[in-house]
Amino acid sequence: MAEGQSQNTSSGQSLLYLTDEQLRQGIEAMFFAYRGFTADPDRILEGLSYGRAHHRAIHFIHCAPGTTVNNLLAILGVTKQSLNRVLRTLIEDGLVTSHVGRSDKRERHLTLTEAGEALEQQLSDAQRVRMRDAYRKAGPEAVAGFKTVLEAMMDDDMKRAYLALREGR
Amino acid sequence: MAEGQSQNTSSGQSLLYLTDEQLRQGIEAMFFAYRGFTADPDRILEGLSYGRAHHRAIHFIHCAPGTTVNNLLAILGVTKQSLNRVLRTLIEDGLVTSHVGRSDKRERHLTLTEAGEALEQQLSDAQRVRMRDAYRKAGPEAVAGFKTVLEAMMDDDMKRAYLALREGR
DNA sequence: TTGGAATGTCAACAAGACTGACGTATTTTC
DNA sequence: GAAAATACGTCAGTCTTGTTGACATTCCAA
């Protein structure tokens, strides 16, 4: 335990930014920032009897149209029962379509309908407004650092999923 | 809507980092990173019939010993009823003590017991290990940028709460 | 002193996550 | 061709954590 307070390496480079206090600040910053991050879409969703789970599904179906249920499961990191509840309502409400796979008929390929795309736009616009403001305030160097730290914070398989999404576009 | 794809200002500075695609990447990075961020403490908690809500309460009581329920409410952003359920179990289990206020007897002042401090240590150690690794990998400049962007992403009142916590130490 | 505001507690309910079990269609493997 | 594995959907039950509503206590100000 308590490796914490060491502040210099043998190489002499200052490691003040690795103190427990600095790390605690980072932890709290993540907590408060994530709240801001989800606040705007949450406000939109709450009027529609949808939740954050629906938003996540819509987001990733938009990014990877035609993706399968299993695929989505891996990205979202939830159980299929949990995802299924969400998908069922989205399909019933005509925001998502589910097509039997051509080569493998066991698979269901998911796509946003026009209405689904419209909601996706509305949600991601709201989220991007905040992100864009934050990015602009912080400047390009800060944004680069931001992404570097976030990537380093991910689990390895999450990082793979994240990078795969970037490749796919 | 769709202000999106503009890429240069009149000042000529490149705004490539503000494209919709870049913003989308940032959004996904937040999603995946937050999962990593909570994964380690969640694993510890799951054996103890506590959840993330208990972790949050413990964290902020540790940071501001003697804080009131109302105070905690403002920081956590949940209803007092929700917080109360969590606090009740923590008090029953002897991790937190609740003292009636001296000047205002309506208030309850919350403190971690020795056992509470021990669990706090265990949880924040786990979380700090990941943060420290991420920080070390990314380097001090990236970390500075990371914090700048996160602060810019917070709601104003959250930012006030965040900065107040930093002052208080 | 009395009525309103603030603080905190109890009870009931809903969303969304989880596990476990089961059914069906399809594909792969032996 | 039969058996095993895969992909998906569903039912039932539980847990955490959020919500609202009702209520008790305490403080303060008119």
| pLDDT, tens digit (0-9, with 9 covering 90-100), for B22-55 | 999 999 999 999 999 999 999 999 888 899 999 9
End-to-end CA, chain B: 43
Running DSSP on this structure, what letter comes out for residue B66? T
Considering only the beta carbons, identify the residue of B28, B132, B149 that sits closest to A18. Answer: B132
Is the CB of B154 less than 8 angstroms away from the CB of A33? Answer: yes
Give the mean pLDDT of B8-17.
63
Residue B96: what pLDDT? 95
Residue A167: what pLDDT? 77
Q: How far is A49 from chain B (nearest CA, A)?
A: 20
Nucleic strand C under 7 Å from the C-beta of A137: no
Residue A157: what pLDDT? 86
End-to-end CA, chain A: 43
Domains and CATH numbers, chain A: 34-138 (1.10.10.10)
Residue A5: what pLDDT? 45
The 3-state DSSP class for residue B109 equals strand
pLDDT, averaged across chain A = 89
Running DSSP on this structure, what letter comes out for residue B98? E
How long is the CA A13 to C1' C28 vector, in angstroms?
Answer: 57
* pLDDT of A15 higher than 90: no
* pLDDT of B168 higher than 90: no
Nucleic strand D under 7 Å from the C-beta of B54: yes
The 3-state DSSP class for residue B94 equals coil
